[in-house]
Structure 1
Amino acid sequence: MNTYITSGTHSFMAKIKEEHSDQDIVLLQNAQETLLIHETEGKTVFQAPRTYEVFDASGNIHSGFAVILHVPVREEGRPVFEYQFKDKASKLEKESGLTAHRLLRPINGDTYLFLTVWENPGAYSQSSLANNLDSQEIVGENQSVLADPTFVSQYSITENEE
Structure 2
Amino acid sequence: MNVYITNGTYDFLKTIQAKHAAETIVLMEGTEGAALVHETNGKSVFESPRRYEVVDGAGIIEERGYVVLNNIPVTDEGRPLFEHRFKNRAGAIENEPGFISMRVLRPLDSDTYVIFAQWEDVKAFENWKTSDAFNHAHKKRGTEEGLDKRPNIFSGPSYLTAYTIPIEE
Q: Tell me the TM-score normalized by structure 2.
A: 0.85
Asked if 1:158 corresponds to 2:166, the answer is: yes
Task: Give the residue type in structure 1 aligned to 2:52.
Answer: Y
Aligned to 1:112: 113
Cα separation, partners in 2 of 1:158 and 1:89, compared to 1, 3 Å: farther
Q: Segments of 4+ in structure 1 off by > 6 A?
A: none
Alignment of 1:23-38 (within 5 A): 23-38=23-38
Aligned to 1:149: 157
Which whole-Å deviations, capped at 9, do the CAs of 1:35-56 have from their partners, x for residues lacking one? 0011111111111111000111
Cα separation, partners in 2 of 1:82 and 1:67, compared to 1, 3 Å: same
Aligned to 1:86: 87
* 1:23 to partner: Cα distance: 1.0
Cα separation, partners in 2 of 1:123 and 1:49, compared to 1, 3 Å: same
Cα separation, partners in 2 of 1:40 and 1:122, compared to 1, 3 Å: same
Alignment of 1:117-132 (within 5 A): 117-128=118-129
Q: What RMSD, in angstroms, separates the aligned Cα atoms of the two structures?
A: 2.2
Q: Which has the larger radius of gyration?
A: 2
Q: Kindly tell me the number of residue pairs found equivalent between the two proteins.
A: 158
2:77 partner SS: helix
* 1:129 to partner: Cα distance: 6.2
* 1:137 to partner: Cα distance: 3.2
State the alpha-carbon separation in 1 of the partners of residues 90 and 33 from structure 2. 28
Give structure 1 stretches of 5+ with no counterpart. Answer: none
Give structure 2 stretches of 5+ with no counterpart. Answer: none
Q: Tell me the TM-score normalized by structure 1.
A: 0.89
Quote the sequence identity (%): 37
State the alpha-carbon separation in 2 of the partners of residues 137 and 3 from structure 1. 25
Task: Give the residue type in structure 2 aligned to 1:142.
Answer: L
Cα separation, partners in 2 of 1:78 and 1:138, compared to 1, 3 Å: farther
* 1:92 to partner: Cα distance: 2.2
